[in-house]
């Protein structure tokens, strides 16, 4: 199945995710892509905000895949792979994927993904809103992690609309493969660029912190952490931090 994207651009909005959730509830068809020049209430993962001043890419895509919620949740990995592939050919430094859905350029976070879903019927999600922020011209300071942007990393000065075209071109084939065969078929590609594999990490799960070695990810995207006693702990959601070298 080929997905057709229909791009709408607005100068300013609260959050492209929130706007597409409203459109999804009103029955909009999948493939609708909403890009905003600026967001007044951009949202990040785990209840955090997403600073959204003009110059960077802020976009959400409405999708209606025939997938159960657990499998639908793996789309964030696919989106990160698409961003990673797009950015890798533009910058002269390493581009890696940080579990769960971040893209790192020379170790700095360059993008974020917020995947939201609604309404399960017949075991399948009714809609997914895939929100992506990509730092093109500036990046926030004072964040939980080091951050960067395309220009700071030695890449070209892309206009957000140009960046969106490049991103959709990378995302489309990956999305269609994911639709047909699931994340299991793409997992090796993710692992080929995964940051911190085989290294000591700390996983922050709300108030709890667990240290161990990042052993890999399962076909459903769960992170496998080898604990100091040799046991494996599987982590479905959280933030990871790499130990200082």
Chain positions contacting ligand BTN, by CB under 6 A: 15-17, 39, 42-45, 48, 50, 58-60, 112-114, 131-133
**Whole-number minimum distance, CB 40 to ligand BTN, in Å?**
10
Element (DSSP H or E) covering residue 167: helix 160-181
Residue 122: CA atoms inside 13 Å, Cβ hemisphere, count?
Answer: 5
What is the spatial distance between Cα 66 and Cα 72, in angstroms, rounded to a whole number?
9
**Whole-number minimum distance, CB 188 to ligand BTN, in Å?**
24
Is 16 or 96 the residue whose CB approaches ligand BTN more closely?
16
Is 16 or 74 the residue whose CB approaches ligand BTN more closely?
16
Residues 85/51, Cβ–Cβ less than 8 Å: no
Is 58 or 184 the residue whose CB approaches ligand BTN more closely?
58
What is the spatial distance between Cα 32 and Cα 17, in angstroms, rounded to a whole number?
12
Q: Where are the alpha helices (DSSP H) in 67-208?
A: 69-72, 75-88, 160-181, 187-193
**Whole-number minimum distance, CB 121 to ligand BTN, in Å?**
25
Omega prior to 100 cis, within 30 of 0: yes
Rounded (5°) CA angle 216-206-72: 55
Is 103 or 217 the residue whose CB approaches ligand BTN more closely?
103
Residue nearest to ligand BTN (CB): 112
What is the spatial distance between Cα 92 and Cα 222, in angstroms, rounded to a whole number?
31
**Whole-number minimum distance, CB 92 to ligand BTN, in Å?**
24
Is 215 or 237 the residue whose CB approaches ligand BTN more closely?
237
**Whole-number minimum distance, CB 131 to ligand BTN, in Å?**
3
Residue 228: CA atoms inside 13 Å, Cβ hemisphere, count?
Answer: 3
Is 42 or 65 the residue whose CB approaches ligand BTN more closely?
42
Provide, for the chain, the percentages of residues in helix, strand and coil under a 3-state DSSP scheme, each rounded to the nearest 5: 25, 35, 40
- Nearest CA to 99 out of 216, 245, 198, 226 is that of 216
**Whole-number minimum distance, CB 195 to ligand BTN, in Å?**
15
């Amino acid at each position: 199945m080929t997905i057709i994207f229909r791009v709408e651009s607005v100068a300013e909005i609260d959050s492209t995710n929130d706007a597409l959730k409203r459109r999804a509830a009103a029955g909009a068809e999948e493939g609708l892509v909403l890009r905003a020049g600026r967001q007044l209430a951009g949202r990040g993962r785990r209840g955090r905000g997403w600073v959204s001043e003009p110059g960077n890419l802020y976009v959400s895509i409405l999708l209606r895949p025939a997938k159960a919620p657990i499998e639908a949740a793996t789309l964030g990995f696919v989106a990160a792979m698409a961003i990673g592939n797009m950015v890798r050919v533009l910058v002269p430094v390493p581009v890696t994927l940080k579990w769960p859905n971040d893209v790192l350029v020379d170790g700095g976070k360059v993008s974020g993904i917020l995947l939201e879903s609604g309404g399960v019927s017949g075991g399948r999600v009714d809609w997914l809103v895939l929100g992506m922020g990509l730092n093109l011209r500036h990046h926030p300071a004072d964040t939980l992690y080091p951050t960067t942007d395309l220009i700071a990393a030695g890449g070209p000065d892309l206009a957000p609309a140009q960046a969106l075209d490049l991103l959709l071109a990378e995302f489309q084939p990956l999305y269609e493969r994911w639709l047909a065969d699931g994340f299991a078929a793409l997992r090796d590609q993710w692992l080929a660029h995964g940051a911190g594999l085989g290294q000591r990490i700390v996983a922050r799960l709300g108030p709890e912190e667990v240290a161990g070695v990042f052993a890999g990810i399962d076909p459903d995207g769960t992170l496998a952490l080898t604990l100091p006693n040799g046991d494996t702990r599987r982590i479905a959601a959280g933030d990871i931090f790499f130990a200082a070298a």
